[in-house]
Amino acid sequence: MIKDIITKSIEEVKQIQASTAEDIEKIRIRYLGKKGLMNDLFAQFKEVPNEHRKEIGILLNELKGTIQSKLEELKDKTTAVSDNNKPQEDLTKPANLLSLGSIHPLTAVRKEIIDIFSRLGFTVEEGPEIEDDWHVFSALNFPQEHPARDMQDTFFIETNKENNVLLRTHTSSVQVRTMEKQKPPIRMIAPGRVFRNEAISARAHCMFHQVEGLYIDKNISFADLKQTLLYFVKEMFGSDTQIRLRPSYFPFTEPSAEMDISCTICKGTGCNICKGTGWLEILGCGMVDPNVLEASGIDSNVYSGFAFGMGIERIAMLKYDVKDLRQYFENDIRFLNQFSSAL
């Protein structure tokens, strides 16, 4: 009896036709499901007397195999059919755009600063980030033990009596290196990375970028400094930008000044950004101290010059209205992508 059911079922399964996934699933359930034929037959198989067990067992396995290969065959056919029905790729479709990344705002601003000063004949100079005491402090008229050295919290790498090794705290060290190797006239800028031992916040970082400027020649006066910087800010922030110089102190310049520009947001009427003053501080500058010229072997009776130094982060913050300095270094794509057309 069970033998008849099995052999009939084998024939029946071989004849099955189905073309949709749902129909195939129905067939699977009918034969292989929990309450399906196979389970039913296996239950009956327990009752089969010993002498027939072998023969029935073989037939049962044959039936199971037939069902499984039938299901495979039906599935293959339906996928083949659906593959054929798939619409062909549209070969006229525009290609997917490759995302190319964007220029970092600090790179964009650095390039713009270099472009502006090269129009005035300034060359670009470089110096090492790991410096010695001489180039960062002593040659720039910071006397030993002078409190002016505390103006910049320094990361020291090696301290010894002759010459400390340290991470440069400003790009003014490149002034010294350039004066040591070139004879005046010198007209150079030095963009670069500087390091200070400061707590990281929205307004300060232990690593940032500066651009140094130096102009040495005969008869260079404060008027040249002022005009050069005025040209720079008008190019950088727009022709209606005004400047204001406030007396300040740096060991390497005399007289020294800090320069403000009229607020880029409110144009001088007073707002949150300029804290109601109408002015924003952007750089330090002054006439190169004769001691600095002499320390690098330039005759201060013949030559004079001016120098200035500015933070690239600060300029970029004002230009792009960036509120938190840390964003420059977090590499958040959502921040960086906003500058894709910065150049």
**Candidates 25-33, 38-46, 101-109, 305-313; binding stretch for ligand PHE (CB under 6 A):** 305-313
Least distance between ligand PHE and beta carbon 237 (Å)? 19
Geometric angle at alpha carbon 228, from 223 and 232, rounded to 5°: 145
Question: Token pair for residue 203?
Answer: 């307004």
- Structural contact between residues 117 and 189, judged by C-beta atoms closer than 8 angstroms: yes
Query: Residue with the closest Cβ to ligand PHE?
Result: 309
Among 178, 253, 262, 264, binds ligand PHE (CB under 6 A): 253
- Tell me the closest approach of the beta carbon of residue 196 to ligand PHE, in angstroms: 9
Cβ proximity to ligand PHE: between 31 and 308 the closer is 308
Nearest approach in angstroms of CB 116 to ligand PHE is 17
In terms of CB distance, is 64 or 209 closer to ligand PHE? 209
| Contact window for ligand PHE (CB under 6 A) among 6-14, 225-233, 306-314, 327-335 | 306-314
Q: Are 154 and 167 in contact (CB under 8 A)?
A: yes
If one counts every other C-beta atom within 10 angstroms of the C-beta of residue 64, the result is 18
* Site map (CB under 6 A) of ligand PHE, residues 274-303, x = contact: ----------xxx-----------------
The yes or no reply on residue 9 touching ligand PHE (CB under 6 A) is no
Q: Is 192 in the site for ligand PHE (CB under 6 A)?
A: no
251 binds ligand PHE (CB under 6 A): no
CB of 326 to ligand PHE, least distance (A): 20
- CA-wise closest residue to 279 among 309, 307, 241: 241
108 versus 189: smaller Cβ distance to ligand PHE: 189
Q: How far is the CB of 122 from ligand PHE (least distance, A)?
A: 14
Binding of ligand PHE by 309 (CB under 6 A): yes
Asked if residue 250 binds ligand PHE (CB under 6 A), the reply is yes
Task: HSE, CB side, 13 Å, CA atoms: give it for residue 313.
Answer: 18
Report which of 311, 282, 316 is spatially closest to residue 210, judged by C-alpha positions.
Answer: 311
Closer CB to ligand PHE, residue 112 or residue 212?
212
Q: How far apart are the first and last CA of the chain?
A: 87
* 137 sits near ligand PHE (criterion: CB under 6 A): no
**What Rg, from alpha-carbon coordinates, does the chain have?**
40
3-state secondary structure of 138: helix
Residue type, 341: S
Element (H, E) at 181: helix 172-181
Backbone angles phi, psi at 74, to 5 degrees: -65, -40
- 3-state DSSP assignment of residue 271: coil
Q: Is 205 in the site for ligand PHE (CB under 6 A)?
A: no
Using the minimum distance from each CB to ligand PHE, give the nearer residue, 116 or 266.
116
User: What is the distance between the alpha carbons of residues 137 and 135, in angstroms, rounded to a whole number?
Assistant: 6
10 Å Cβ neighbour count for 48? 17
Site string for ligand PHE, 207-246 (x = CB under 6 A): -----x----------------------------------
| Of 325, 330, 335, the residue nearest 101 (C-alpha) | 335
| Tokens found for residue 46 | 């327990």
Our finding on whether 305 is near ligand PHE (CB under 6 A) is: no
Instruction: Please tell me whether residue 310 adopts helix, strand or coil conformation.
Output: strand
122 counts as binding ligand PHE under rule CB under 6 A = no
Size of the site for ligand PHE (CB under 6 A): 11
User: Rule CB under 6 A: which of 164-183 touch ligand PHE?
Assistant: 170, 172
Task: Give the residue with the Cβ less far from ligand PHE, 71 or 307.
Answer: 307
The rounded distance, in Å, linking the Cα atoms of 14 and 131 is 86
Question: Residues in the site for ligand PHE, rule: CB under 6 A?
Answer: 170, 172, 212, 250, 253, 284-286, 307-309
